[in-house]
């Protein structure tokens, strides 16, 4: 994101590679900024839908066309001429609430730049609401006037203003350390800096999800301390809804299978259109260890295992950073190989180095 924002004024081709957030946010930003050029990505990015966002931006006045297949990158951006929103009212847009929250955040963040601002109405079921709330809170911190009326968000026209802000550490990245502690011997502990108890991030849900696996969280003045405590002799059936925190699904599924504690999982719909089909990827890779993500129908899945064992298996990552990091903690149970390990650069480029600092032996295979 940083590199492309710096390059945009002087280039007509930008490559978001495999970063979905970058693709969605830049599409809206560059459109409203009147940038002209092509926005592309990897082969997998060109299979990830963006039509809902493009349709909304076109309604607002953006000239965007598809270079290959309708509804998917790469895109050709050819300027912006507002077609709605005047001094008498904002630009009116409506999008489904069950789509990726990245589309919604992208539209909200450019709202102050639209004539008259933006009135964005979310229809139907709304998923990933914490991400929408996070976007609104940060916009307000940087000077935007955003208010909510039910499922309609009103963004007033205006300018953002600079302010001092310390970016919180990433709860999604922290989830892999929760996995490590969950699989470690009783008494194991680690301190993670920069995480807040009063967090805007939906993935803080990992605190409650990992408690039944014996991971105790203590909040410190600047971070958290995790400790493995003896789990209850019998754990009640676990059921988690990942609608607001889909990026935790792989983490929990792997730990549940490894620990032999079945977990019913719902809210996984968006996993089909991530960096890979994460449901299919989990089913394939868990099977190598004796685990399974069983489709129960009606949007319900159950992570479980029978004779789970780690004995040198090779885990495919499918160009997905979270597949690599979700399975890496299994090294506590035995040796394994993670294919294409550099996929972690998307969200946690120092992941392997951090594992080495924690005492793991990380070597390049072959």
Output the furthest CA–CA distance in the chain (Å, rounded): 67
Residue 201 and residue 245: Cα distance in Å, rounded?
9
Q: Is the dihedral of CA 317, 1, 54, 103 positive or negative?
A: positive
Cross-sheet strand order for the sheet of 189-193: 189-193, 223-228, 215-220
Contacts of 85-90 with CB under 8 Å at 24 or more apart are: 85/60, 85/114, 85/115, 85/116, 85/117, 85/118, 85/157, 86/115, 86/116, 87/116, 88/116, 89/116, 89/119, 90/114, 90/116, 90/117, 90/118, 90/119, 90/154, 90/155, 90/156, 90/157
State phi, psi for 337 to the nearest 5 degrees: -115, 135
Give the residues across from 90 on adjacent strands: none
Beta strands 291-297; 314-315: pairing state: unpaired
Q: What angle do CA 79, 80, 86 make, to 5 degrees?
A: 165
The answer to whether residues 322 and 271 touch, using CB atoms and an 8 Å cutoff, is no
Active-site hit among 247, 277, 295, 298: 247
55 in active site: no
CA atoms within 13 A on the CB side of 185: 0
Q: For residue 93, give both structure tokens.
A: 């847009």
Residue 210 and residue 33: Cα distance in Å, rounded?
43
Alpha carbon distances (Å) from 268 to 22, 98, 128, 307, 323? 22, 12, 11, 25, 15
- The residues assigned a catalytic role are 247
């Amino acid at each position: 994101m940083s590199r492309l924002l710096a390059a945009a004024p002087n280039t007509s081709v930008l490559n978001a590679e495999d970063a979905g957030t970058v693709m969605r946010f830049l599409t809206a930003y560059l459109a409203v900024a009147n940038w002209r050029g092509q926005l592309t990505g990897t082969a997998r990015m060109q299979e990830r839908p963006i039509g809902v966002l493009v349709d909304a931006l076109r309604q607002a006045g953006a000239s965007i066309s598809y270079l290959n297949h309708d509804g998917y990158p790469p895109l050709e951006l050819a300027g912006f001429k507002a077609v709605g929103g005047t001094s008498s009212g904002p630009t009116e847009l409506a999008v489904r609430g069950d789509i990726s929250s990245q589309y919604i955040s992208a539209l909200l963040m450019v709202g102050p730049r639209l004539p008259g601002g933006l009135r964005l109405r979310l229809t139907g079921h709304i998923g990933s609401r914490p991400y929408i709330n996070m976007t609104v809170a940060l916009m307000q911190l940087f000077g935007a006037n955003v208010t909510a009326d039910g499922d309609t968000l009103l963004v007033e026209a205006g300018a953002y203003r600079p302010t001092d802000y310390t970016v919180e550490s990433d709860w999604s990245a922290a989830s892999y350390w929760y996995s490590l502690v969950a699989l470690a011997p009783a008494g194991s502990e680690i301190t993670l800096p920069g995480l807040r108890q009063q967090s805007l991030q939906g993935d803080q849900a990992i605190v409650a999800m990992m408690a039944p696996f014996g991971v105790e969280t203590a909040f410190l003045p600047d971070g958290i301390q995790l400790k493995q405590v003896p789990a209850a002799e019998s754990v009640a059936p676990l059921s988690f809804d990942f609608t607001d925190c889909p990026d935790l699904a792989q983490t929990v599924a792997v730990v549940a299978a490894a620990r032999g504690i079945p977990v019913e999982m719902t809210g996984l719909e968006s996993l089909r259109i991530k960096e890979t089909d994460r449901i299919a990827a989990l089913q394939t890779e868990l099977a190598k260890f004796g685990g399974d993500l069983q489709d129960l129908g009606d949007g319900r899945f159950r992570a479980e295992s029978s004779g789970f064992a780690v004995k040198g298996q090779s885990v495919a990552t499918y160009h997905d950073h979270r597949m690599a990091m979700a399975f890496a903690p299994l090294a506590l149970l035995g040796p394994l190989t993670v294919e294409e390990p550099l996929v972690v650069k998307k969200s946690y480029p120092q992941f392997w180095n951090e594992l080495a600092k924690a005492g793991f032996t990380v070597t390049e295979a072959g």
